[in-house]
Chain A
Amino acid sequence: MSDLSVTNERLEAEARHNGGSARDYFELLKPRVMSLVIFTGLVGIVVAPGTIHPVIAFTALLCIAVGAGASGALNMWYDADIDAQMSRTSSRPIPQGRIEPGEALGFGATLSVGSVLAMGVMVNWTAAALLALTIGFYLFVYTMWLKRSTPQNIVIGGAAGAFPPMIGWAAVTGSVSLESIALFLIIFMWTPPHFWALALYRAGDYEKVSVPMLPVIAGKRETRKQILIYSVLLVATSLAPVALGFAGLVYGAAALCAGIFFLVLAARIWTEGDGEKADGRAKALFGFSILYLFLLFATLLVEHAAGLKIAVPGLGA
């Protein structure tokens, strides 16, 4: 190898390692995941009893967003090896060489500590503790431990994504209550059918990198069955806010209608088996699952913010 090619390689390496743009760093925060986290956190704040100053509420949301983004950066740092081999994730900044793994680690760690401290000092320490738990759970329990070791990875790991409304609630009340646990459970039950629908048509990707997703380990038939079971549990859980009295008829009707449609899509996956349309049906459920969660929380938000709550007779206040 000539001196010139050695120099070129060194320059290219430097270009890669010094060339991360602000956009690349923003991409490390998984902005699409962050948007759902911000939204569910906002609903937790709005639905919680009591009042909070708008500036403090904004600060709480910002801390939730930055904490969630930090988890994403740390996840990308740890999973850079498998991200590079999966088509869905190969264009991320680290596999593309635009950001060095160490930079992502430093970025994620700094934002994690900063968001938790800011939440504690400016909002309250209960919300800060829950935020720290969320980041720690996502990094240590899901990313480092469960993701590569068990097909139940996203079932248990899903808890990390379910905390934001609970954090929002705690930002207002300073405590954890049954109502905030109900919001947590909705996202917790939503995660398995959402990710397994994706895993059904991306099973090859996960198999290639030895991530034991359910379709890879237990097969697609078992995955379809589990999707249906968790969908039933999800729809039942989605009605908990009505039963606990902090959601009214409007939310109840929306949750029931959207839930029935969710069950229909899950049942279609089950009945289609491995047929020609299998991937299309899995994609349909994956796509609708995002809309479904948004719809549930948006209805809850509108019902509270616009004062549309009509109590269901015999339930709650």
Chain B
Amino acid sequence: MEGEEKKSEGETNPSERPDASGWTPELYARRKARAKAMAWVLVAMIALFFLVTVVKLGGNIAERSI
């Protein structure tokens, strides 16, 4: 049993082996993709908040008493 496990460990593609912290390159790639997705969401949120602020302020400016 132990021998089989060692054999399967030996057959693992070196690029798929975990590093010292136990993470495989694939896990790093997924984490990077998650971080990218989060960054896009944050940028979109900033844009949305900015646009809404302009829309709300714009209305108030248009309706101000002069």
Contact = CB atoms under 8 A, between A and B. Distances in A.
Interface of A: 2, 4-5, 8, 10-11, 14-15, 18-22, 25, 53, 55-56, 59, 62, 122
Nearest to A54: B55
15 contacts: A2-B1, A2-B2, A5-B2, A14-B22, A14-B23, A14-B27, A18-B31, A19-B26, A20-B30, A20-B34, A21-B30, A53-B59, A56-B52, A59-B48, A122-B49
Contacts of A62: 48
Contacts of A53: 55, 59
Q: Most A CB atoms within 10 A — which of B26, B30, B49?
A: B30
A4 to B, nearest CB: 5
Given A5-B2, A59-B52, A122-B52, 5 more contacts: A4-B2, A18-B30, A20-B34, A25-B37, A55-B51
B33 interface: yes
Interface string B33-57: 1101100000000001101100100
A15 B33 contact: no
Contacts of B37: 22, 25
A5 B36 CA distance: 34
A2 B6 CA distance: 11
A18 B27 contact: yes
Interface of B: 1-2, 5-6, 9, 18, 22-24, 26-27, 30-31, 33-34, 36-37, 48-49, 51-52, 55, 59
Contact of A19 (B27, B49, B51): B27
Nearest to B52: A122
Contact of A55 (B23, B27, B30, B52): B52
A208 B52 CA distance: 49
- Provide the main secondary structure of the chain B interface: helix
Nearest to B58: A53
Minimum-distance CB pairs A-B, first 3: A22-B37, A122-B52, A55-B55
Contacts of A8: 5, 9
B14 to A, nearest CB: 16
B34 A22 contact: yes
B34 A21 contact: yes
A89 to B, nearest CB: 23
Contact of B55 (A14, A19, A56): A56
A10 B22 CA distance: 9
B24 to A, nearest CB: 7
A18 B23 contact: yes
Nearest to B41: A22
A4 B5 contact: yes
A19 B6 CA distance: 24
A230 to B, nearest CB: 39
Contact of B33 (A5, A21, A56, A59): A21
Nearest to B29: A21
B1 to A, nearest CB: 8
Contacts of B31: 18
A18 B24 CA distance: 11
B34 to A, nearest CB: 5
A10 B51 CA distance: 47
Nearest to B37: A22
A304 B38 CA distance: 37
B5 A19 contact: no
